[in-house]
Amino acid sequence: MCLAIPGEIIKIEGNKATVDYGGIQKECRIDVVKADKGDWILVHAGYAISVLDEKEAKKTLELLDEVI
């Protein structure tokens, strides 16, 4: 239920953003985040809940290479 999908904002109109999820585009509401075109956001139940921190995301990806 708390699943949230990351996607890139490609257009903003008022409190709505068009988000690209790896090829599929869908609208979501951005009322509770401060986001710009080009930002990556996490979308849950039609609403963005968080803007992804690119620097931290890259650190996590590096860390995750060390799992096994």
Residues lying near other proteins in the complex (CB under 8 A): 1-4, 29, 31-34, 42, 44-47, 49-50, 52-54, 56-57, 59-60, 63-64, 66-68
What whole-number distance in Å separates Cα of residue 57 and Cα of residue 55?
5
Q: How far is the CB of 7 from other proteins (least distance, A)?
A: 13
Q: How far is the CB of 41 from other proteins (least distance, A)?
A: 10
Closest alpha carbon to 45 in 16, 8, 13, 4:
4
Q: What are phi and psi of 29, to 5 degrees?
A: -95, 140
Q: How far is the CB of 4 from other proteins (least distance, A)?
A: 5
